[in-house]
């Protein structure tokens, strides 16, 4: 009888002359499995070419060392860095690294050839982590790249393992990729374990193998408490442009980031919002003015089961959050009963402008509502919510059902967004953006609350999830780069000159109150919303940097990287142009 350990060892060694495709949802453990393949290859004296599209080489080396990698002989481990240039991050020069760009598959092919010649031998192990980002930039070309570059490289006497996030692409595209591969490993998470399903393999029969789960990376940055306190007390902190941002900007960021994984992204955001707000609501309450804190103690009920108690809470929250402009909330007293509450939201900042796209859109932010209930209620009850009406479904407003414990329809609703719907949303956003830039048409204007949301609300949409999830940070980097690239392409296709396109984008950023932009030899944004009220040792303008880099790579054939950041203590955010 074949042992499970033997099967695992066999699939962690990629046979010479073969291309293995490793697919699965984000977070399933594909990268960790890939790192073990690298370590096994190095132990067998195979030179390794590691193509990285989601981290820099330094981070990959650190992760490999955590897994036991020792000192390396020259030319043992080589990198193609297709991440830094793509998202506008600094890429320290390294003798073992060749640069490339996810937007240009030819640059990756040329980098493979260059390193192959440098190594000067066959039987090379090539690890591609991952194909997801190149796919987002080059949907029509990725299959051809796999067939003519990766499969060809394997056929020349080398080994290739390529990773792909399942759910980010069309089924027919992933199916085409699988048709080229010599082996297919599908990873998933079930009942707290990571599972590898061997679909086909040159050495192992189809089977199911369980492997242990590893820990997630820690949070790397946090809120600037004094600024948050001032903002919560309604003291203006962005003195030059005010404490409000056009809601188009965070929604553009949110939906372009979702291109990476539309099936699972809403669930991730729902849970992050719920967990973070549930654990931190009492800390945030300390930032409210003293009279609001006193009123909350006198006014808020201990339990939120009864209709009259939830009605009191809704009334208090509406007054407390009236400046955020996230929506106009109305508690539906007649429809509610004990432990089953209904809330109506007019002018939702999540859904407005995306009418009739065919799916509920507000549940991601619904996680914040139940997180607030968990944090405010004195006890340990879990709460959940499901959207019963939504602007995205064609309703005139959004409605939510909130209950303690489990709730029917939540999972189905969170997983309802597919690539077809996401492309419709993305197209509508881009059309609205082009209408503004090219013809001066308005972006979004809600009838009651207008076009802006507060920095506090903006932070809930973009900053807090990035603090809690490395996957989210990577998604908004790549989302920014893909969004900026597409905006640049559309402006050039419309016949706009390069310098004029740059000028209009800077005007757009200023109009949206992203910050106060200026440009000479570098790009500067004073009081940038993405890094304002945040403290970090490193630049934290993830989406802004990706957007600018994707835009400049198309319009000017240049790249940008952030060299100064408000979050890191600098007076403004600044990007160099190369």
Q: What is the pLDDT of residue 568?
A: 86
pLDDT in tens, 162-191: 999 887 778 888 899 999 999 999 998 887
Q: What is the pLDDT of residue 190?
A: 80
Residues of the chain with CATH 3.40.50.300: 4-211
Distance CA 528, CA 273 (A): 23
Helix axes 419-439, 498-511, angle to 10 degrees: 100
Q: What is the pLDDT of residue 144?
A: 93
Looking at residue 93, the DSSP 8-state letter turns out to be -
Instruction: Check whether 214 has a pLDDT greater than 70.
Output: no
Distance CA 26, CA 214 (A): 14
Instruction: Decide if 477 contacts 543 (C-beta within 8 A).
Output: yes
CATH classification of 222-260+420-578, choosing from 3.40.228.10, 3.40.50.2000, 3.30.1380.20, 2.160.10.10? 3.30.1380.20
Instruction: Check whether 2 has a pLDDT greater than 60.
Output: no
- 334 or 172, which is more confident: 334
Q: What is the pLDDT of residue 146?
A: 96
Residue in the structure block whose two tokens are 């056009």: 246
Looking at residue 446, the DSSP 8-state letter turns out to be B
Distance CA 280, CA 285 (A): 9
Instruction: Decide if 49 contacts 121 (C-beta within 8 A).
Output: no
The CA-to-CA distance between both ends of the chain, in Å, stands at: 59
Instruction: Check whether 463 has a pLDDT greater than 90.
Output: no
Instruction: Check whether 493 has a pLDDT greater than 70.
Output: yes
Q: What is the pLDDT of residue 199?
A: 95
Instruction: Check whether 5 has a pLDDT greater than 50.
Output: no
Instruction: Check whether 22 has a pLDDT greater than 90.
Output: yes
Q: What is the pLDDT of residue 475?
A: 82
Tokens representing 160 are 């290739």
For the segment 342-368, the average pLDDT, to the nearest whole number, is 89
The per-residue pLDDT of the chain, averaged, comes to 86
Instruction: Decide if 321 contacts 349 (C-beta within 8 A).
Output: no
Distance CA 264, CA 270 (A): 10
Does the pTM of the predicted model rise above 0.85?
A: no
pLDDT in tens, 233-246: 667 788 889 999 99
Q: What is the pLDDT of residue 185?
A: 95
Q: What is the pLDDT of residue 316?
A: 73
- Sequence-distant (6+) residues with CB within 8 A of 308 are none
Top CATH class of 263-417 equals alpha beta
Instruction: Decide if 174 contacts 158 (C-beta within 8 A).
Output: no
Categorize the per-residue pLDDT at 219 as very low, low, confident or very high, splitting at 50, 70 and 90: very low
Q: What is the pLDDT of residue 280?
A: 62
CATH classification of 4-211, choosing from 3.40.50.300, 3.40.640.10, 1.10.3720.10, 3.40.50.620? 3.40.50.300
Q: What is the pLDDT of residue 362?
A: 83
Instruction: Check whether 387 has a pLDDT greater than 50.
Output: yes
Q: Cα–Cα distances in Å, from 317 out to 149, 166, 365, 501?
A: 57, 39, 15, 43
- 160 or 230, which is more confident: 160
Categorize the per-residue pLDDT at 88 as very low, low, confident or very high, splitting at 50, 70 and 90: confident
Instruction: Check whether 566 has a pLDDT greater than 50.
Output: yes
Distance CA 80, CA 74 (A): 16
Residues of the chain with CATH 3.30.1380.20: 222-260+420-578, 263-417
Q: What is the pLDDT of residue 97?
A: 93
- 43 or 214, which is more confident: 43
Q: What is the pLDDT of residue 1?
A: 36
- For 574, the enclosing helix (H) or strand (E) is strand 573-577
pLDDT in tens, 276-297: 776 666 555 555 565 555 656 6
Instruction: Check whether 216 has a pLDDT greater than 60.
Output: no
Q: What is the pLDDT of residue 500?
A: 97
pLDDT above 70: percentage of residues in the chain: 89
pLDDT in tens, 508-562: 999 999 999 999 999 999 999 998 878 887 788 989 998 998 899 899 988 888 8
Distance CA 154, CA 156 (A): 5
Peptide bond into 530 cis (omega under 30): no
pLDDT in tens, 108-125: 999 999 999 999 888 899
């Amino acid at each position: 009888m074949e042992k499970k350990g033997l099967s695992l060892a066999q699939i962690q060694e990629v046979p010479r002359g073969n291309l293995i495709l490793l697919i699965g949802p984000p977070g399933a453990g594909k990268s960790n499995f890939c790192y073990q393949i690298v370590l096994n290859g190095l132990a067998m004296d195979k030179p390794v070419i590691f193509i990285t599209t989601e981290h820099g080489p330094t981070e990959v080396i650190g992760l490999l060392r955590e897994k036991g990698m020792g000192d390396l002989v020259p030319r043992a481990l080589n990198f193609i860095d297709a991440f830094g240039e793509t998202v506008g991050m600094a890429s320290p020069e390294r003798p073992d690294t060749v640069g490339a760009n996810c937007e240009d598959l030819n640059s990756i092919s040329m980098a493979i050839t260059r390193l192959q010649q440098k190594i000067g031998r066959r039987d090379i192990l090539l690890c591609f982590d991952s194909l997801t980002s190149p796919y987002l930039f080059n949907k029509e070309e990725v299959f051809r790249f796999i067939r003519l570059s990766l499969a060809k490289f394997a056929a020349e006497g080398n080994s290739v393992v390529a990773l792909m996030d399942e759910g980010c692409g069309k089924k027919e595209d992933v199916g085409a990729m699988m048709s080229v591969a010599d082996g297919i490993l599908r990873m998933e998470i079930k009942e707290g374990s990571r599972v590898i399903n061997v679909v086909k393999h040159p050495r192992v029969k189809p089977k199911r193998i369980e492997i242990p789960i590893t820990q997630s990376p820690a949070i790397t940055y946090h809120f600037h408490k004094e600024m948050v306190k001032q903002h919560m007390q309604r003291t203006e902190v962005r003195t030059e442009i005010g404490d409000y941002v056009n809601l188009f900007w965070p929604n553009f960021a949110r939906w372009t980031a979702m291109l990476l994984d539309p099936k699972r992204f809403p669930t991730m955001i729902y849970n992050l919002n719920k967990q973070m707000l549930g654990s931190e609501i009492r800390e945030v309450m300390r930032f409210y003015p003293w009279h609001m804190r006193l009123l909350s103690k006198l006014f808020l009920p201990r339990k939120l089961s009864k209709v009259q108690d939830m009605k009191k809470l809704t009334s208090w929250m509406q007054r407390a959050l009236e400046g955020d402009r996230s929506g106009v909330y109305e508690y539906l007293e007649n429809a509610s009963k004990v432990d089953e509450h209904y809330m109506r939201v007019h002018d939702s900042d999540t859904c407005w402008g995306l009418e009739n796209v065919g799916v509920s859109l507000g549940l991601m932010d619904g996680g914040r509502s139940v997180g607030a209930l968990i944090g405010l209620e004195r006890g340990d009850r879990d709460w959940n919510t499901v959207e019963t009406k939504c602007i995205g479904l064609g309703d005139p407003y959004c409605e939510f059902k909130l209950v303690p414990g489990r709730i029917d329809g939540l999972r189905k609703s969170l997983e309802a967004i597919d690539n077809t719907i996401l492309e419709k949303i993305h197209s509508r956003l881009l059309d609205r953006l082009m209408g503004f830039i090219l013809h001066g048409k308005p972006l979004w204007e809600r009838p009651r609350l207008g076009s802006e949301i507060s920095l506090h609300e903006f932070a809930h949409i973009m900053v807090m999830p990035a603090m809690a999830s490395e996957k989210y940070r990577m998604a908004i980097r790549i989302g920014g780069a893909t969004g900026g690239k597409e905006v640049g392409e559309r402006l050039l296709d419309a016949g706009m000159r390069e310098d004029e396109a740059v000028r209009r984008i800077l005007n757009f950023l200023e109009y949206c109150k992203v910050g106060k932009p200026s440009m000479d030899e570098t790009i500067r944004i004073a009081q940038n919303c993405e890094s304002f009220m945040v403290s970090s040792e490193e630049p934290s303008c993830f989406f802004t940097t990706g957007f600018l880099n994707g835009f400049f790579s198309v319009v000017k054939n240049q790249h940008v990287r952030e060299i100064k950041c408000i979050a890191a203590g600098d007076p403004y955010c600044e990007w160099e142009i190369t």
